[in-house]
Structure 1
Amino acid sequence: MKNTLFRSAAAMAVVIPSLLMAGHSQAEDLSAAEAFYDGNTINWIVPYSPGGGYDEYSRLIIPYFEKYTGASVRLQNNPGAGGMRGANDIYRAPKDGLTVGIVNGSALVTNQLAGIEGAVYQFEKYGFLGRVVADQRVLAVSTRGDFETIEEMVESNSTFKVGATGLGGSTYVDALVAGELFDLNQDIIHGFDSSSVIRQAMLRRDIVGMWGSYGSAIQDVEDGMQKIVLQSGQERTAAIPDAPTVLELAERMNLGADKMAVLRAWQGLNDVGRPVVTPPGVAADRLTFLQRAFEQALNDPEFVAKAENAGRDLSFVNGERMAEIATDAAVMPEAAKAFFIEAVSGGI
């Protein structure tokens, strides 16, 4: 099967566990929930600034979420602390089912493992509507910089700077893990408000590159401003044929067992991707109604076409499966767990 970043609507119908197509039965009578949401207002929190991938995904989804909930949806950008501020706001919101949000799942899991100050949530206790996408993570460098390949970065004797958002955010964790696995001579400059601000620093040549999702990097790559030199996953995607995978690089460098355990845990965290969640404790009928509406929205043919036209990857899973993925990500070999705890807490 051809390996592509984007899954068509037809392909998704085969691989997605679906409440609609799998005949998922619900004991709850959803008529009361449907009446509750009809004409009501849902607050949709994005834990990053406008213009980034989380914001763009949300703006694509919201019209269809409105279509299937019957509610109006108000988008609210709550950036800060590498996405934790917005995640905390969702977690602490009223449990009436009128607050949802898209979050950086892998970063939230690692922050929780490390006990990062300010992480008031327990990730597994969110209500999960489902996952939008499991990010294809990439290391992109500025075409105005000094590097054209990951090999040049590995072999560099001079220290170079890599940008990241808040301590514990995915851009930070990816950079830190890659640096430790592949012995990169790098300084991670964290604290940028968003990925778009990091890209501006790359244009100024203040930093050489950054980790992020392929969807967030693609426009700058197409514009000739960035080049992808490394990608997550076990196989190169068709969209990025010239950049090796982290597994390729690991095998080439003959990493030991401990580092390979960390690499596999890193990959598992990436599978958590970008879920849409509610606060814990939302009534079962309302959560089920929102899960159903979210699944209908993500499978709407018009939405799928718009996502494809926007170059936005989709790898949807439903709320039940997303909860399982989140739990699995937190279970890792002790050596890998200890590494992530030390890394995210700033010990590395």
Structure 2
Amino acid sequence: MKNPLRFARSASVALVASVTLAFAMPAQAQVDFSGQTVEWWIPFSEGGGSDVWARFYAPYLSESLPGNPNVIIRNVPGGGSITGTNEFVARAAPDGLSIIGTSGSTQFPYLLGDSRVRYEYADLEPVLVSPTGGVVYIPASLGVADASELGKLEGTQLVYASQGATSLDLVPMLAFEVLGLDVRHVFGMTGRGDGRLAFERGEATIDYQTSSAYLTNVVPLVEAGEAVPLFSYGVLDSLGNVQRDPTFPDIPHFVEAYEMMHGEAPSGVAFDAYMAFFGSGFAAQKPVMLPKGTPPEIVETYRRAFADAVANPDLQAAKGDILGEYDQAVYDDVAGLYEVATTIDPEAREWVRNYLSENHNVTLD
């Protein structure tokens, strides 16, 4: 299903991108990073998902950039990634020697209008977008065989072990709200691993895990007859259409699950809000950007470098659980998915803010 929020301009974006590419390519030869060091800012601590992702990409990016500069990771944690991103926008020079990689945890405060945010995504220059996936599942003891039997859950209160109302767990929260499920969110989990353990202990009765964690830790529960997958969040193609997750082609995506339950496609402001945060948290979770004012020839150099890095047979052979089976957005595919990750309809934003305030006592001002 097509994202109703932000792909109306996809054709014009692609046209502008192709024209920009045509004019920028001759200047690319002027860019040479020989003997220099590129700092890849990550506004999270070492060892987290974004840090691992950047460190995986770094040697391939170094190999693909002209002059093969040293690419180092600069971790600037704090404020749930707001601190480092604010600092990057304020300090990074537009000379091609500083890039930043953020995640849904950085995009969500921006989309929600958090007053601590000092970064404007529209001013940055995206050169790569990496997606990820997730699967929602329940205990087999509830007697629901698959998404086609979601209606059986009406009148049943489910329990979800959450990391927080404005964390990535906002995506399942909105999914459950749109579906019409009665879910009590218990906050305080330090990670999705804690949520899974709560599920295994019987304290939580609905959960989701990201793709790699689902394959490793939940598939054995499914095979043992203890858990039932309901839906994946799915992925977005370059035109904004929701497609099945390539890692889980036999599991319906969220929109399909909604249609199975309600007999029609989802619509309305709550669904628009879900799509915005699903896009930012999963379908376009990790963008890489250059600072505002970076010359077009440097932007083009990075576009080409990331495209070459993604196509590198060594990267493809080694990507494993780091990138999964998801297509990495490069060149013309970047603009649409970046827009997904970083824009939201004002009405949808206001709906989410009101929902969080009224239902979970979350104040963002």
TM-score range, shorter chain: 0.7 to 0.9
Q: Determine the structure 1 residue equivalent to 2:92.
A: 94
Matched, 1:289 2:301: yes
CA contact (8 A) 1:44 1:101 kept: yes
| Residue identity matched to 1:132 | S
Cα displacement (A) at 1:271: 3.8
Q: Determine the structure 1 residue equivalent to 2:254.
A: 246
CA distance in 2, matches of 1:172, 1:267: 10
Consecutive unaligned residues of structure 1, counting only runs of 5 or more, are 1-15
CA distance in 2, matches of 1:304, 1:324: 23
| Residue identity matched to 1:62 | A
CA contact (8 A) 1:93 1:99 kept: no
Cα displacement (A) at 1:127: 2.0
CA distance in 2, matches of 1:190, 1:174: 14
Offset from partner CA, 1:215-266 (integer Å, 9 cap, x none): 4433223454976432123554464355432222322224664255555555
Residues 124 and 76 (structure 1 numbering): CA distance in 2 closer, same or farther, change over 3 Å? same
Offset from partner CA, 1:71-104 (integer Å, 9 cap, x none): 2222344555554444434434422433323322
Matched, 1:219 2:212: no
CA distance in 1, matches of 2:87, 2:190: 17
Matched, 1:326 2:323: no
CA contact (8 A) 1:215 1:311 kept: no
Cα displacement (A) at 1:160: 1.0
Q: Determine the structure 1 residue equivalent to 2:328.
A: 316
Residues 190 and 27 (structure 1 numbering): CA distance in 2 closer, same or farther, change over 3 Å? same
Matched, 1:157 2:152: no
Q: Determine the structure 2 residue equivalent to 1:57.
A: 53
Matched, 1:43 2:43: no
| Residue identity matched to 2:231 | L
Q: Give the paired residue count.
A: 324
Residues 159 and 210 (structure 1 numbering): CA distance in 2 closer, same or farther, change over 3 Å? closer
CA distance in 2, matches of 1:121, 1:261: 23
CA contact (8 A) 2:276 2:341 kept: yes
CA distance in 2, matches of 1:203, 1:86: 36
CA contact (8 A) 2:304 2:331 kept: no
| Residue identity matched to 1:42 | E
| Secondary structure at 2:24 match in 1 | coil
Residues 320 and 346 (structure 1 numbering): CA distance in 2 closer, same or farther, change over 3 Å? farther
Matched, 1:119 2:117: yes
Superposition RMSD in Å: 4.1
With 308-317 and 136-145 compared, the bigger mean Cα shift is at: 136-145
Residues 63 and 210 (structure 1 numbering): CA distance in 2 closer, same or farther, change over 3 Å? farther
CA distance in 1, matches of 2:127, 2:243: 29
Length-normalised TM-score, structure 1: 0.72
Residues 246 and 76 (structure 1 numbering): CA distance in 2 closer, same or farther, change over 3 Å? same
Percent identical residues = 17
Consecutive unaligned residues of structure 2, counting only runs of 5 or more, are 1-13, 235-241, 360-365
Length-normalised TM-score, structure 2: 0.69
Match of 2:72 among 71, 74, 85: 74
CA distance in 1, matches of 2:41, 2:312: 19
Q: Determine the structure 1 residue equivalent to 2:174.
A: 177
CA contact (8 A) 1:68 1:296 kept: yes
CA contact (8 A) 2:136 2:209 kept: yes
CA distance in 2, matches of 1:72, 1:142: 48
Cα displacement (A) at 1:56: 3.5
CA distance in 2, matches of 1:331, 1:41: 28
CA contact (8 A) 1:127 1:282 kept: yes
CA distance in 1, matches of 2:312, 2:321: 14
Cα displacement (A) at 1:178: 1.3
